[in-house]
């Protein structure tokens, strides 16, 4: 404060928004009052500067922090020998950080997870213990390296696509129609068409294991699972078709998963029994992707009467495997 009369703003009379320290006030009876007011305002400003508000909103993990800053606006301040008026303008700066929650799973995503579950080699139905005649072909010298293994697996994939995969598509539609009689007839026909005792035991054991797993997981409606439990003996395609249909998986994708899992299991058997390296096995699996897709597409449109598992070499080698002296696999 300086002596004299009137009020002088450092930025010019009536212009700008000077701070409280840039004002020169007249002396008089109002000096003490204004000084007290300024001290109170300064205390309020200091308090408000240190105010921090943190708001946390759940469950979408939104954290909002509001930092309040206060300044003095003196453009409307006037003073005289009798009165003094001031106005405090407050501004707030708000910083918001938002982390959105992941989108809710859709039915398509759920279907994909079910499909991955069924096609997983970790599915505990015993597939790893079967070679479907491959071990006998190795023993006979027909398969001895990566090229001959690929040829054998490609030929077996063709048999699976025009045989079991066609039955799988037929049973998928029977489950859709809730046609119990058709389910039983198709299941019996498939069992009768298995080429050897080993191959029939394989599909029965794996079908029973999958049905038991689906029941333990409460996979699908209880009424449909009761029908599945009643079919004895149960082939694997019948149980697999139920799992696909009850999970809402499209038939074409289900057929691809079935044939991919079959091929992957054959590659796994070749790795152990030929033996092959990991990269050689993956090269076979990678090279047969187009065959898997084509086989699934063909199986989806093949009439049930045209299904065939005719494969004389496979049948002969599978029968010989039953009495093979040294073996790792059950078929």
The domain limits of the chain are 8-50+68-93, 107-321
Query: For residue 88, what pLDDT is reported?
Result: 31
pLDDT digits (tens, 9 = 90+) for 72-97: 333 333 333 333 333 333 333 333 33
Residue 294, pLDDT score: 98
Q: Say what percent of the chain tops pLDDT 90.
A: 60
pLDDT interval class at 50 (50, 70, 90): very low
pLDDT at 122 over 80: yes
Burial of residue 53 (CB within 10 Å: 0-12, 13-18, 19+) is exposed
CATH superfamily to which 107-321 belongs: Urease accessory protein UreF (1.10.4190.10)
pLDDT of amino acid 46? 54
The residue behind tokens 């029908």 is: 227
Q: pTM above 0.75?
A: no
Q: Provide the pLDDT confidence category of residue 37 given band limits of 50, 70 and 90.
A: low
Angle between helical axes of 164-177 and 236-246 (0-180°, round to 10):
50
Higher pLDDT residue, 93 or 242?
242
For the record, the structure tokens of 46 come out as: 């200091």
Residue 15 in this model has a pLDDT that exceeds 60: no
Give the Å distances, CA to CA, from 286 to 78, 262, 269, 303: 85, 14, 16, 29
Q: What pLDDT is recorded for position 250?
A: 95
| 176 pLDDT tier (thresholds 50, 70, 90) | very high
Q: Round to whole Å and give the CA distance between 161 and 155.
A: 10
The predicted-structure confidence for 187-199, as pLDDT tens digits, reads as follows 999 999 998 999 9
Q: Mind giving me the DSSP string for 65-83?
A: EEEEEEEEEEEEEEE-SS-
What per-residue confidence (pLDDT) applies to 326? 83
């Amino acid at each position: 404060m300086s002596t004299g009369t009137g009020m002088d703003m450092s930025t010019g009379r009536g212009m700008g928004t000077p701070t409280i320290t840039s004002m020169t006030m007249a002396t008089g009876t109002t000096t003490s009052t204004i000084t007290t007011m300024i001290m109170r305002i300064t205390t309020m400003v200091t308090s408000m500067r240190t105010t921090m508000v943190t708001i946390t909103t759940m469950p979408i993990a939104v954290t909002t922090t509001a930092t309040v800053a206060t300044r003095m606006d003196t453009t409307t301040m006037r003073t005289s020998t009798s009165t003094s008026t001031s106005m405090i303008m407050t501004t707030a700066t708000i910083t918001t950080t938002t982390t959105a929650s992941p989108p809710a799973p859709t039915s398509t995503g759920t279907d994909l997870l079910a499909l991955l579950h069924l096609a997983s080699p970790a599915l505990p139905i015993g597939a790893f213990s079967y070679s479907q005649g491959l071990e006998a072909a190795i023993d006979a010298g027909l398969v001895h390296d990566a090229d001959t293994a690929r040829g054998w697996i490609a030929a077996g994939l063709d048999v699976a696509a025009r045989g079991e995969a066609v039955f799988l598509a037929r049973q998928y539609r029977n489950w859709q129609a809730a046609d119990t009689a058709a389910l039983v007839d198709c299941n019996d026909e498939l069992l009768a068409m298995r080429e050897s005792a080993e191959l029939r035991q394989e599909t029965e054991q794996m079908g029973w294991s999958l049905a038991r797993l689906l029941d333990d997981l409460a996979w699908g409606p209880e009424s449909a699972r009761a029908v599945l439990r009643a079919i004895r003996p149960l082939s694997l395609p019948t149980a697999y078709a139920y799992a696909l249909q009850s999970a809402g998986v499209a038939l074409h994708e289900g057929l691809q998963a079935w044939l991919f899992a079959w091929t992957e299991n054959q590659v796994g058997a070749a790795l152990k029994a030929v033996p092959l390296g990991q990269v050689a096995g993956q090269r076979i699996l990678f090279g047969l992707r187009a065959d898997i897709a084509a086989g699934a597409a063909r199986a989806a449109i093949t009439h049930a009467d045209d299904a065939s598992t005719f494969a004389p070499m496979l049948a002969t080698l599978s029968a010989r495997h039953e009495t093979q002296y040294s073996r790792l696999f059950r078929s």
